[in-house]
Amino acid sequence: MTVSRFAARVYELTSKVPEGKVTTYGAIARKMGKPKASRAVGAALRANPTPIVVPCHRVVGHDGSLGGYGGASGTPKKAKLLRKEGVKVSGGRVDLSRFLFTGF
């Protein structure tokens, strides 16, 4: 499967988010120099051909909400993956003051 340059860059940046941390769709878009492209980042992550290898479960909404997840069981699976990595998920949200990664 071939991916666009945009998607490849999204996957590259997402792969830098360490276990136990999350980032946001907007943070990735801003790092790419496209601050209004957070939805496009989400679209690229929905099409991620290698989930877990490219840890798209570590990308959340600007308010810490889990957003979507393309895995078979959706956001409950995303929450489970994040918790397994040490990220606290409460009420469908991650506390960004504790778990946000921006050091791309």
Q: Which residue has the higher pLDDT, 75 or 5?
A: 5
* Selected catalytic residue, list 56, 59, 66, 79: 56
Respond yes or no: is residue 56 known to be catalytic.
yes
Q: What is the pTM of this model?
A: 0.93
Encoded tokens for 92: 């469908």
Exposure on the CB side of residue 16, measured as CA atoms within 13 A:
15
Domains and CATH numbers, the chain: 5-94 (1.10.10.10)
Pairing of strands 89-90, 93-94: antiparallel
Residue 72 has pLDDT above 60, yes or no: no
Residue 60 has pLDDT above 60, yes or no: yes
Other residues' Cβ atoms within 10 Å of the Cβ of residue 29: 20
Name which residue leads in pLDDT, 75 or 33. 33
pLDDT over 80 (residue 90):
yes
Dist CA 17 CA 12 (whole Å): 10
For all residues of the chain together, what is the average pLDDT? Answer: 94
Quick one: pLDDT band at residue 20, thresholds 50, 70, 90?
A: very high
